[in-house]
Amino acid sequence: MCIVPTRTVRATDPTCLLAGKIELTATNGDKYGVSKGATYMGPAYASATAVGTLPVLIKGNISHAADSTWTIRVFNKDNTCFKDTTVTVKALVKDATVSVANGFPVCRVNGTAYTIKFTKSPAGAVVTAKNVATGAAIPVTGDSVANIASTVAKVRLIVTNGVCKDSVDVSAPVCDKPVGSIGDLIWKDTNDNGLQDLPTEKGVSGVKVNLYAASGGTKTGSILQTKTTGTDGLYLFTGLLAGDYIVEIDKTSLKDTCAITTKQNIPGDDTKDSDFNPTSGLSQVVTLNPVFIPTTAAEILATNNLTVDAGLVKVCIVPTRTVVATNPTCLLAGKIELTATNAVSAKARLTQGQRTPVRRQ
């Protein structure tokens, strides 16, 4: 005897993000089959699927592309005892997608804007763009968001197709931050006035300078960069992000008996004075706050500070020496010898039996 199955079939239309599906939510049948179309063409009872725990997902992943009609047959213990249900799942506008076509923007040259190219789907979808930080709209032309200002760190591309929306955020690379430099002259301050008297006074080559980050007014961490002055006496640290720095002169690299002038920071013109402490070899803290295109004097100094200079003077170190006098003997004449000194060269002379000290030449 056939007890015709009762059944409740639920059809869910696809959305922008989810595919459509058909579920069996209640029945007294024990098996079911499904086929596409208004007439059941699916398996017979023997090959049909056991109902199992309700609700049962009969069909998932139903496409957005077009309306589709499905017939579900629920059996009750026999191939001839069944009930069919036909449902239609409606098509919906396709999901909209957008993606960056030219990869994420490459490093920009200082001061230039960048362009994002994109692809979208479906063809009729509309793409808009905005600055994520401010919400301000950015014009879209064709498949590009062109000439994005370098001050915009992140762009959101929004694609709309009917009720369907999608978006992607595109970041500008960090290497687009403006960078600056610190320099630039180590010179021989021959008149020891703490000022560059150019062109009479010349640059000093072969002086090693180290760059450190500064924190709380003192150098911190390990050396960031090292440079050695050329024949013109110039040094330059480049590619520096905003921050505090200290320059150090490696005093062991100073030639002869050169030393850093004690006349530090003579007031008046920082482009001409000496900025290094003669004892520590350290400059004062140099603060950079670079901009892409410096125009004002303050911007130029905050971007490329070329006023960090050192005057070198040649100091006199009084020689130490030990002079030994040997009296004549029966066989040997008397003599005077220099047995110890820090002088590079020496000479002696005797006058009227009075010995003059050996002195530095």
**189 sits near Ca ion (criterion: CB under 5 A):** yes
Query: How many other C-beta atoms can be found within 10 angstroms of the C-beta atom of residue 359?
Result: 14
Q: How many residues belong to the site for Ca ion (CB under 5 A)?
A: 11
**95 sits near Ca ion (criterion: CB under 5 A):** no
Distance of closest approach, residue 175 Cβ to Ca ion, in angstroms: 30
**67 sits near Ca ion (criterion: CB under 5 A):** no
Report the residue number, 138 or 312, with the smaller CB distance to Ca ion: 312
Report the residue number, 84 or 192, with the smaller CB distance to Ca ion: 192
Q: Out of 270, 285, 291, 314, name the contact with Ca ion by CB under 5 A.
A: 270
Residue type, 1: M
Q: Which stretch binds Ca ion (CB under 5 A): 20-28, 35-43, 195-203, 350-358?
A: 195-203
Q: Which stretch binds Ca ion (CB under 5 A): 85-93, 131-139, 267-275, 333-341?
A: 267-275
Torsion from C-alpha of 16, 56, 45, 33, nearest 10 degrees: -10
Whether 325 and 358 have beta carbons less than 8 Å apart is answered as no
Instruction: Give 239's DSSP letter.
Output: E
**193 sits near Ca ion (criterion: CB under 5 A):** yes
CA distance 286 to 281: 15
Distance of closest approach, residue 201 Cβ to Ca ion, in angstroms: 5
**184 sits near Ca ion (criterion: CB under 5 A):** no
Whether 73 and 37 have beta carbons less than 8 Å apart is answered as no
**265 sits near Ca ion (criterion: CB under 5 A):** yes
CA distance 246 to 216: 11
Distance of closest approach, residue 185 Cβ to Ca ion, in angstroms: 8
Instruction: Give the CA distances from residue 281 to residues 105, 210, 238, 248, in Å, rounded to whole numbers and listed in that order.
Output: 43, 10, 21, 6
Q: Can you read off the two tokens belonging to residue 3?
A: 């007890």
Q: Out of 161, 273, 304, 312, name the contact with Ca ion by CB under 5 A.
A: 273
Q: Which stretch binds Ca ion (CB under 5 A): 124-132, 181-189, 231-239, 290-298?
A: 181-189
Whether 284 and 182 have beta carbons less than 8 Å apart is answered as no
Whether 117 and 143 have beta carbons less than 8 Å apart is answered as yes
Which of positions 279-318 make contact with Ca ion (CB under 5 A)?
307, 309
DSSP 199-215: TTS-B--S-EEEEEEEE
**197 sits near Ca ion (criterion: CB under 5 A):** yes
Footprint of Ca ion on this chain (CB under 5 A)?
189, 191, 193, 195, 197, 265, 270, 273, 275, 307, 309
